[in-house]
């Protein structure tokens, strides 16, 4: 086995320009920076194979961002295998938009239905170019990979897992079908509820349970320099970073607080956050809010609840980081084999039925000629209204386009990365993946620890979208409906099987 060489780099990718903040159904234009957005790069090689981890404080990775990062990296580093770049979003809902600006944009079958400024009147509101930001972001990311690669040096890794309560199930399940309730409004282009409702009211006489439990594992991989000094760590947490999801300032959300908390204890080390499967989880408590409010009042005093949530989460992750570090550092490995497999898997699509097509066509026809509002309210409220209208139209148009394309393209291709570093494995996917899938993969993996990384970038324009389980699809609701799922639960199990097959293929009993 060859010795490991490790390199790190971190870049600030904040902007003070007024950019769109994706992650909601309406446009939010940034008003400054609450805390820095980052890209974090980690390169590890053994002389035979290599991986470049790249994490970014974004909601998802779309609009060809990964392609741009790889192309720019190829120019900076001759002969670097850019296909070995794994780029993941932390799923912050307060990251800057890198989505394409162009007026030629349309809701394609596989593309985003997010509204863009060029298609919506926004008189009185300055909106900076997302194309310009994407160029800046991809340049910073490529340069971070270059710096990490050029500064790589002999070092070692240690790994382990700990526990931190971060995510909670965000899908409430009811005894009755909520779409049949008197006065229920469904099919508005954003949600199609049934027995399941994302963020549903738990103070309801028909509330039954949460659809999923929660995953409190924190997977950690630490890196060390040649003298045994801690240089950085991958922190893999099964929860999106969306406590401040409605903020109008750019923010890395709870990952900023995690960086602060760990830096206070360990000094200025590099941290690379990853979101494990968490499509049905969030950092919100739904049924214990009064108790939580009292906890925060006594613990932190007055202030924003979302910021208190972030601090609370950061303390728990930092505690897990320190607890695992105390024993994991007893087993630092400096010579380990790396095997990095990149392949395309074809996953069964979530097909649109004839009835769903008729529903989408009816709603699109109702909305397509509705005019934008141009007066009678504040510029911000007008933008919010008009961008919601555009998002509704786009979502129905996307369903129509998916139906037209699905006969010729019944499978969705996805770039899959499966990586081993000794007895540790990583496996990627492009989705907001429901929690059950990570357990299916980890339970069948032959490796001591398997880090599953969701919301990784793939070649092309699309990224994100939920991948619901069988029970999620049956219960319906946002994240488990026709608008949200490009891939079926059967396709989700295909992803599990394909991932496990590669894990078993690259595994060796002695770690060599």
What are the tens digits of pLDDT across the range 59-79? 999 999 999 999 999 999 999
* Tokens read off for 422: 């000794």
Mean pLDDT of 88-92: 98
In this predicted structure, what is the pLDDT of residue 511?
Answer: 65
The CA-to-CA distance between both ends of the chain, in Å, stands at 7
**For residue 112, pLDDT beyond 80:** no
Phi, psi of 294 (to 5 degrees): -65, -45
* Residue 29 and residue 432 in contact, taking contact as beta carbons nearer than 8 Å: no
DSSP 8-state class, residue 335: B
Q: How far is CA 169 from CA 45, 175, 216, 434, in A?
A: 37, 17, 12, 10
Structure-token match 């066509």, residue found: 361
Mean pLDDT of 345-352: 97
* Residue 342 and residue 415 in contact, taking contact as beta carbons nearer than 8 Å: yes
DSSP 8-state class, residue 80: -
Mean pLDDT of 42-56: 98
**DSSP assignment of 110-162, as one string?**
SS-----GGGS--TT-----HHHHHHHHHHHHHHHHHHHHHT-EE-EEEEEEE
The whole-angstrom separation of Cα 142 and Cα 127 is 26
* Residue 33 and residue 14 in contact, taking contact as beta carbons nearer than 8 Å: yes
Consecutive H or E run containing 292: helix 289-300
In this predicted structure, what is the pLDDT of residue 512?
Answer: 64
In this predicted structure, what is the pLDDT of residue 105?
Answer: 45
**DSSP assignment of 176-239, as one string?**
S-GGGSTT----SSS---SSEEET--SSSTTEEEESS----EEEEEEEE-TTS-EEEEEEEESS
If we measure between CA atoms, which residue out of 82, 78, 3, 11 comes closest to residue 44? 3
* Residue 439 and residue 465 in contact, taking contact as beta carbons nearer than 8 Å: no
- The count of C-alpha atoms lying within 13 angstroms of the C-alpha of 122, restricted to the half-sphere facing its C-beta, is 22
The whole-angstrom separation of Cα 332 and Cα 230 is 11
- In this prediction, residue 259 has a pLDDT band, given cuts at 50, 70 and 90, of very high
In this predicted structure, what is the pLDDT of residue 189?
Answer: 66
* Tokens read off for 237: 């947490």
Structure-token match 């139906």, residue found: 403
The whole-angstrom separation of Cα 264 and Cα 414 is 39
**For residue 416, pLDDT beyond 80:** yes
pLDDT digits (tens, 9 = 90+) for 401-414: 999 999 999 999 99
| Maximum CA extent, the chain | 71
Handedness of CA 362, 364, 367, 368 (dihedral sign): negative
Q: At what angle do helices 354-367 and 379-405 cross, to 10 degrees?
A: 150
**Domain ranges for the chain:** 5-168+212-347+411-506
pLDDT digits (tens, 9 = 90+) for 272-282: 999 999 999 99
If we measure between CA atoms, which residue out of 271, 226, 244 comes closest to residue 55? 271
The CB density around residue 125, as the number of other CB atoms within 10 Å, is 15
In this predicted structure, what is the pLDDT of residue 107?
Answer: 53
Mean pLDDT of 215-241: 98
The whole-angstrom separation of Cα 87 and Cα 371 is 39
In this predicted structure, what is the pLDDT of residue 190?
Answer: 65
The whole-angstrom separation of Cα 349 and Cα 216 is 30
* Beta bridge pairs of residue 349: 487
* Residue 131 and residue 54 in contact, taking contact as beta carbons nearer than 8 Å: no
If we measure between CA atoms, which residue out of 9, 59, 93, 16 comes closest to residue 310? 93
Q: How far is CA 41 from CA 185, 236, 272, 274, 474, in A?
A: 45, 15, 7, 12, 39
- In this prediction, residue 287 has a pLDDT band, given cuts at 50, 70 and 90, of very high
Handedness of CA 350, 353, 355, 356 (dihedral sign): positive
* Residue 94 and residue 244 in contact, taking contact as beta carbons nearer than 8 Å: yes
* Tokens read off for 393: 């139209």
What is the rounded radius of gyration, in angstroms, for the C-alpha atoms of the chain?
22
The whole-angstrom separation of Cα 21 and Cα 38 is 15
Residues with Cβ within 8 Å of residue 180, at least 6 apart in sequence: none
Kindly report which listed range (19-33, 108-122, 137-151, 469-483) carries the lowest average pLDDT score: 108-122
In this predicted structure, what is the pLDDT of residue 257?
Answer: 98
Mark 396-420 as b/e (b = at least 16 C-beta within 10 Å).
bbbbbbbbeebeeeeebebbbbbbb
The whole-angstrom separation of Cα 198 and Cα 288 is 16
**For residue 111, pLDDT beyond 60:** no
pLDDT digits (tens, 9 = 90+) for 450-482: 999 999 999 987 888 999 999 999 999 999 999
CA dihedral 209, 454, 255, 111 (to 10 degrees): -100
- In the predicted model, what is the mean pLDDT of the chain? 95
In this predicted structure, what is the pLDDT of residue 348?
Answer: 98
In this predicted structure, what is the pLDDT of residue 104?
Answer: 47
* Tokens read off for 1: 């086995």
């Amino acid at each position: 086995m060859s010795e490991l060489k490790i390199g790190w780099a971190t870049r600030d990718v904040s902007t003070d320009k007024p950019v769109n903040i994706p992650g909601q159904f309406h446009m939010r234009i940034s008003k400054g920076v609450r805390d820095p957005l980052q890209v974090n790069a980690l390169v590890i090689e053994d002389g035979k194979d290599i991986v470049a981890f790249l994490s970014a404080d974004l909601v998802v990775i779309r609009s060809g961002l990964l392609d741009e990062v790889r192309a720019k990296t190829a120019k900076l580093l001759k002969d670097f295998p850019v296909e070995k770049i794994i780029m993941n979003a932390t799923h912050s809902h307060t990251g800057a938009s890198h989505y394409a600006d162009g007026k030629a944009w349309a809701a394609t079958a596989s593309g985003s239905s997010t509204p863009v400024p060029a298609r919506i009147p926004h008189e009185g509101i300055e909106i900076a170019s997302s194309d310009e930001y994407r160029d800046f972001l991809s340049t910073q990311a490529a340069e971070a990979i270059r710096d990490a690669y050029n500064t790589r040096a002999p070092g070692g890794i240690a790994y382990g897992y700990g526990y931190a309560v971060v995510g909670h199930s965000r899908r409430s399940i009811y005894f009755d079908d909520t779409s049949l309730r008197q006065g229920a409004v469904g099919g508005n282009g954003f949600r199609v509820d049934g027995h399941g409702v994302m963020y549903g009211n738990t103070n309801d006489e028909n509330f039954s349970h949460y659809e999923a439990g929660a995953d409190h594992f924190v997977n950690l991989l630490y890196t060390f320099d040649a003298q045994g000094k801690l240089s950085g760590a991958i922190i893999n947490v099964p929860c999106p970073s969306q406590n401040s999801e409605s903020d109008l300032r750019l923010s890395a959300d709870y990952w900023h607080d995690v960086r602060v908390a760990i830096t206070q204890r360990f000094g200025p080390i590099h941290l690379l956050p990853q979101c494990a499967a968490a499509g049905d989880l969030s950092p919100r408590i739904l049924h214990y809010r009064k108790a939580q409010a009292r906890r925060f009042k006594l613990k932190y005093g007055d202030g924003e609840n979302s910021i208190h949530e972030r601090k609370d989460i950061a303390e728990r992750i930092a505690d897990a980081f320190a607890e695992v570090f105390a024993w994991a550092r007893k087993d630092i490995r400096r010579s380990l084999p790396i095997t990095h497999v990149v392949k395309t898997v074809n996953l069964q699509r979530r097909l649109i039925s004839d009835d769903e097509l008729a529903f989408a066509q009816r709603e699109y026809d109702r909305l397509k000629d509705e005019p934008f509002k141009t007066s009678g309210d504040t510029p911000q409220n007008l933008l919010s209204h008009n961008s919601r209208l555009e998002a509704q139209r786009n979502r129905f148009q996307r369903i129509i386009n998916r139906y037209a394309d699905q006969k010729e393209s019944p499978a969705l291709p996805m770039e899959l990365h499966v990586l081993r570093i000794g007895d540790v494995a990583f496996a990627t996917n492009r989705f907001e993946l429901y929690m059950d899938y990570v357990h299916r993969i980890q339970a069948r993996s032959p490796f001591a620890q398997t880090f599953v990384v969701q919301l990784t970038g793939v070649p092309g324009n699309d990224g994100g979208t939920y991948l619901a389980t069988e029970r999620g699809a049956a219960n319906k609701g946002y994240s488990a409906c026709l608008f949200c799922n490009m891939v079926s639960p059967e396709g989700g199990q295909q992803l599990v099987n394909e991932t496990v097959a590669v894990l078993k293929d690259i595994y060796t009993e002695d770690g060599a």
